[in-house]
Amino acid sequence: MNSYVLFFTALIPIVWLMVSLGVLKLPSHLTCAITLFITILLAVLVWKMPFTQAMGATFEGFALAIWPIIIVIIAAVFTYNLSIYTGSMEVIVKIMTGITTDKRILVLILAWGFGGFLEATAGFGTAVAIPASIMASLGFNPVVAAIICLIANTTPTAFGAIGLPVTTLAQVTGLNPITLGYAVSVQLAGLIIIAPLVLVMLTGRSIKAAKGVVLISLASGLSFAIPQVLIARYMGPALPALLGSIICIIVTIVMAKLFYKETASESEHVSLKEGLIAWMPFILILLFVLLTSSLFPGIEKSISSIKTVLTIYTGPGAKPYSFLWIANPGTMIILATFLGGLIQGAKFKQILKVLLNTCKQMTVSIITILAIVALAKVMSYSGMIASIAVVIVAVTGSFYPIIAPVMGALATFVTGSDTSANILFGPLQVQVANNLHMSPYWLAAANTGGATAGKMISPQSIAVAAAATGIVGSEGKILKATLKFCLAYVLILGLIVYFGAQLFGT
Query: pLDDT value at position 60?
Result: 93
175 has pLDDT over 80? yes
User: At 296, is the pLDDT very low, low, confident or very high (cuts 50, 70, 90)?
Assistant: confident
User: Any idea which of 28-42, 189-203, 301-315, 366-380 has the lowest mean pLDDT?
Assistant: 366-380
266 has pLDDT over 60? no
Query: pLDDT value at position 72?
Result: 81
Is the CB of residue 438 less than 8 Å from the CB of residue 480? no
From CA 445, how far away is CA 448, in angstroms rounded? 5
263 has pLDDT over 70? no
425 has pLDDT over 60? yes
Q: What is the mean pLDDT of the chain?
A: 89
Query: pLDDT value at position 68?
Result: 79
Q: Give whichever of 67-81, 246-260, 290-304 has the largest mean pLDDT.
A: 246-260
- pLDDT tens digits, one per residue of 455-475: 998 877 887 888 778 887 788
Query: pLDDT value at position 438?
Result: 92
264 has pLDDT over 70? no
If you average pLDDT over residues 237-249, what whole number do you get? 94
- pLDDT tens digits, one per residue of 69-123: 888 878 888 988 899 999 998 898 888 778 888 899 999 999 999 999 989 987 7
Query: pLDDT value at position 380?
Result: 85
If you average pLDDT over residues 230-251, what whole number do you get? 94
From CA 317, how far away is CA 108, in angstroms rounded? 47
Query: pLDDT value at position 155?
Result: 95
Considering only residues 52 and 26, tell me which one the structure prediction assigns the higher pLDDT: 52
Considering only residues 133 and 167, tell me which one the structure prediction assigns the higher pLDDT: 167
Query: pLDDT value at position 505?
Result: 58
User: At 345, is the pLDDT very low, low, confident or very high (cuts 50, 70, 90)?
Assistant: very high
Query: pLDDT value at position 51?
Result: 97
Considering only residues 416 and 14, tell me which one the structure prediction assigns the higher pLDDT: 14
If you average pLDDT over residues 148-163, what whole number do you get? 93
- pLDDT tens digits, one per residue of 392-404: 888 998 899 999 9
Percentage of residues in the chain having pLDDT higher than 90: 54
174 has pLDDT over 80? yes
User: Any idea which of 45-49, 214-218, 408-412 has the lowest mean pLDDT?
Assistant: 408-412
How far from chain centre, in Å, is Cα 424? 14
From CA 500, how far away is CA 229, in angstroms rounded? 16
Question: For 260-328, where are the alpha helices, taking DSSP H only?
Answer: 272-291, 297-304
Q: Spell out a b/e string for 145-163, using b for 16 or more CB atoms within 10 Å of the CB, else e.
A: bbbbbbbbbbbbbbbbbbb
Is the CB of residue 392 less than 8 Å from the CB of residue 14? no
Question: For 214-296, where are the alpha helices, taking DSSP H only?
Answer: 214-235, 240-259, 272-291
Q: Give whichever of 44-48, 202-206, 363-367, 474-478 has the largest mean pLDDT.
A: 44-48
Query: pLDDT value at position 12?
Result: 94
Query: pLDDT value at position 114?
Result: 92
Does residue 324 sit in helix, strand or coil?
A: strand
Calculated CA dihedral for residues 199, 407, 313, 52, nearest 10 degrees: 130
Cβ-Cβ contacts under 8 Å for 442 (sequence gap 6 or more) = 183, 187, 401, 433, 497, 500, 501, 504
179 has pLDDT over 70? yes
Query: pLDDT value at position 468?
Result: 78
126 has pLDDT over 80? no
- Whether the CA torsion 317, 321, 322, 323 is positive or negative: it is positive
- pLDDT tens digits, one per residue of 205-222: 899 999 999 999 999 999
In the DSSP assignment, the letter for residue 269 is: P
